[in-house]
């Protein structure tokens, strides 16, 4: 498994580098797997009835965003023509992925291209979508201000605003009119979703990963922290174990998926299920 699971009802979807697995959440059973798609490096994304997987761009496999029914039947596929390693994001009737050519918006129902915005060309960057805007961090080595978060109109890809940020380790987190990202000095940054005006959150050297309801989840190394998104009060934390790999000790969280009051944590030592603090 190379990504956190995407969960919908009684099914959980995970990916490896080459294929998709559909697992039953209530028993130890693989419901289906495949098809082979070399180069899957982002996590799968689900809506109520559709699974989206982005992969390819390696050797003979073309870069492709694919929509599946939950029984594994392919609904449509979209070939960007350029290597893409991002996790799909869904919003405003479209699916969004980045590639080395820009941000691609694809119609949710048909797979037809809505637009490609070349304002962003960072193929690792994943998109967050909220209220008519797609947010993504771009990296350009030729620019002395290398990292910028762009807010794009989801209708046509035009740039609404851009702000200097730090390295992106995932998509920005958007909640209640605020966009959370990593700042230039790698502390957490809160930006106004309307105009990009920013404020640092003091003493929070962490990466925002998710927000559900009033809870903001951030990671720092191998520890997951939960904060009250309104007050900033710390609620609880969960440290994953260290893992010895050859001569290196690793303690890392790769992904976080909140589901129904619990949190699934993809860490260096495996998958953890974390319940809310009592």
With a cut of 50, say whether residue 203 has pLDDT above it: yes
Which residues of the chain are in CATH 2.40.128.630 domains? 80-205
Q: What percent of the chain has pLDDT over 70?
A: 87
Query: pLDDT class for 278, splitting at 50, 70, 90?
Result: very low
Can you tell me whether residue 233 is helix, strand or coil? Answer: coil
- The topology (CATH level 3) of 1-72 is Thrombin, subunit H (2.40.10)
Which residues of the chain are in CATH 2.40.10.480 domains? 206-278
pLDDT for 234: 86
pLDDT for 50: 96
pLDDT for 250: 62
Query: Within a 10 A sphere around the Cβ of 32, how many other Cβ atoms?
Result: 15
Domain 80-205 annotated CATH 2.30.42.10:
no
Q: Which one of 2-11, 69-78, 124-133 scores highest in mean pLDDT?
A: 69-78
pLDDT digits (tens, 9 = 90+) for 221-256: 889 999 888 777 888 999 988 775 655 556 678 778
Phi, psi of 102 (to 5 degrees): 150, -165
Query: pLDDT class for 95, splitting at 50, 70, 90?
Result: very high
Contact criterion met (CB below 8 Å) for 26 and 10: yes
With a cut of 90, say whether residue 104 has pLDDT above it: yes
Domain 206-278, what architecture? Beta Barrel (2.40)
Q: Which two tokens stand for residue 128?
A: 């967050």
pLDDT for 117: 92
CA–CA separation, 71 and 9 (whole Å): 13
Report, in angstroms and rounded to the nearest whole number, the Rg of the chain calculated over CA atoms. Answer: 18
pLDDT digits (tens, 9 = 90+) for 138-177: 876 555 557 889 999 999 999 999 998 887 767 899 988 9
pTM greater than 0.95: no
């Amino acid at each position: 498994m190379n990504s956190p699971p995407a969960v919908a009802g009684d099914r959980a979807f995970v990916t490896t580098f080459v294929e998709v697995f559909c697992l039953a959440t209530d028993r130890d059973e693989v419901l289906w797997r495949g098809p082979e798609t070399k180069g899957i490096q982002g996590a799968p994304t689900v809506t109520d009835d559709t699974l989206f997987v982005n992969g390819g761009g390696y050797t003979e496999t073309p870069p492709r965003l694919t929509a599946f029914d939950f029984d594994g039947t392919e609904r449509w596929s979209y070939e960007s023509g350029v290597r893409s390693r991002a996790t799909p994001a869904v919003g405003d009737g479209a699916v969004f992925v980045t590639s080395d050519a820009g941000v691609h918006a694809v119609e949710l129902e048909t797979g037809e291209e809505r637009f490609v915005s070349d304002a962003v060309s960072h193929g690792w960057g994943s998109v967050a979508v909220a209220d008519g805007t797609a947010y993504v961090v771009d990296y350009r080595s030729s620019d002395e201000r290398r990292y910028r978060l762009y807010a794009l109109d989801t209708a046509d890809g035009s740039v609404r605003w851009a702000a200097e940020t730090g390295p992106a380790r995932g998509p920005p987190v958007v909640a209640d009119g605020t966009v959370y990202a990593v700042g230039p000095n790698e502390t957490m940054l809160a930006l106004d979703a309307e105009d990009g005006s920013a404020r640092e959150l003091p003493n929070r050297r962490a990466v925002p990963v998710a927000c559900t309801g009033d809870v903001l989840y951030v990671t720092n190394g191998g520890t997951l922290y939960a904060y009250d998104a309104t007050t900033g009060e710390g609620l609880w934390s969960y440290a994953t174990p260290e893992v010895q790999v050859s001569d290196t000790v690793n303690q890392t969280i790769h992904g976080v998926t909140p589901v129904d009051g619990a949190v699934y944590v993809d860490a260096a030592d495996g998958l953890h299920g974390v319940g809310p603090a009592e």
